[in-house]
Copies of this chain bind each other. A is one copy, B any other.
Amino acid sequence: MIVVLKNGVGKEQQDDLKRFLEGYGVKVSVTEGTQTTIFGLLGDTSNIDINAVEAQDAVETVKRVQEPYKKANRKFHPDNTEVKVGDLVIGGKKLTVIAGPCSVESEEQIVEIARRVKAAGATMLRGGAFKPRTSPYSFQGLHAEGLELLRIARKETGLPIVTEIMNTEDLDLFADVDVIQVGARSMQNFELLKELGKTDKPILLKRGLANTYEEMLMSAEYIMAGGNENVILCERGIRTYETFTRNTLDISAIPVLKRLSHLPVIIDPSHAAGLPWMVEPLSKASIAAGADGLIIEVHNNPAKALSDGAQSLTPDQFDGIMERLAPLAQVVDRTL
């Protein structure tokens, strides 16, 4: 951390500031110029509140050099983390493909879709029971019943299930869910993250629609600081000025997150664009860029879906995409 002092700060005030900073357990190195004095902070600065330093009278500006996250930081964990879900490994050579409907609607629906996506090569089943909808007048999910239907689909197909939690009060209901998803709107629901940190469940953490890489890794850090290191990062499109697509897929998130962190990174091409014909090119781009997997919306009858039908693929379309992704995975030394 580098602290630039205001012009004209006297010796005494400098010494006070130096002592204040040393209180954080770091060494302070002073560089005095004709106009500007700079303090370099050496040691572990991750527990220093940058805002508290900026609030000191003598301080002009503060610049971080070290990242503020530790457990999620590749510097301290050079090897890739592999998250285990039963026999499955997320972040290994085999790509993870999670597929299923936006919302669980009925036993027939979820079981049929589960069978189809499994046949096409998906390794996990997604489906929402608690749905964060922009409008209070939209379908809000089947809640506990939806989770029960997911369990039935798991029993029928053997596919582990991934589903979203929205509130700490519902945590008990998720006891036998295989992967708990934290949605984009909850990425900074810190109370929820803390509770999930106390479990040992794999957590699929989606990036908030306008959150930075650093903020995302700090949210992962919340979960990991609680003791749960089974975090899977998921990029699902960010908000930009462009309105043709629902969001803008940030493909750079793949190489950046994998460089900054050791956690697996998967991509959600369905929400990123909101347009089914874009799922294929975005999936291809993601695998080529080094993603560890995909999460794709598939519905057996998009026109009758209770949510997000417009961006869902049909099982037939999903079959075709999976076939065309396989040789691409091979070229980048992965398997599908």
Point out residues on A near B: beta carbons under 8 Å: 2, 4, 27, 29, 31-36, 38, 40, 42-43, 46-47, 49, 51-52, 54-57, 60-61, 63, 65-66, 68-69, 130, 132-140, 166-169, 185-186, 188-192, 194, 209-210, 212-215, 218, 221-222, 225-226, 238-245, 248-252, 254-256, 259, 272-273, 277-278, 281-282, 284-290, 302-303, 305-312, 327-328, 330-332
Contacts and interface: CB of A to CB of B under 8 A. Distances in A.
Given A55-B310, A278-B255, A282-B289, A218 B38 contact: no
B38 A33 contact: no
B136 A222 contact: yes
Contacts of A46: 137
B40 A31 contact: yes
B136 A225 contact: yes
A209 B210 contact: yes
A220 to B, nearest CB: 10
A242 B167 contact: no
A297 B217 CA distance: 28
29 contacts: A31-B31, A33-B40, A40-B40, A47-B137, A51-B311, A52-B306, A52-B310, A55-B305, A132-B188, A134-B188, A135-B218, A135-B221, A140-B190, A185-B188, A185-B190, A210-B239, A212-B241, A214-B244, A238-B241, A240-B250, A245-B256, A248-B250, A248-B252, A251-B251, A252-B273, A252-B282, A284-B289, A285-B288, A331-B331
A133, A188, A312 pick with most chain B CB within 10 angstroms: A188
A210 B241 contact: yes
10 A-B pairs with least C-beta separation: A55-B309, A33-B42, A210-B210, A288-B288, A54-B310, A285-B285, A31-B40, A284-B288, A29-B31, A285-B289
A219 to B, nearest CB: 8
Copy tally for this chain in the complex stands at: 4
A177 to B, nearest CB: 17
Nearest to A131: B190
A242 B237 CA distance: 13
Contacts of A302: 55
A241 B243 CA distance: 8
B249 A251 contact: yes
A239 to B, nearest CB: 5
A17 B214 CA distance: 29
Contacts of A327: 331
Contacts of A272: 252
Nearest to A33: B42
Given A51-B310, A167-B168, 10 more contacts: A29-B32, A35-B42, A38-B65, A51-B311, A55-B305, A63-B63, A136-B194, A166-B189, A248-B250, A255-B282
A225 to B, nearest CB: 4
A263 B51 CA distance: 31
A244 to B, nearest CB: 5
B34 A42 contact: yes
A49 to B, nearest CB: 5
A332 B281 CA distance: 11
B278 A252 contact: yes
Nearest to A219: B134
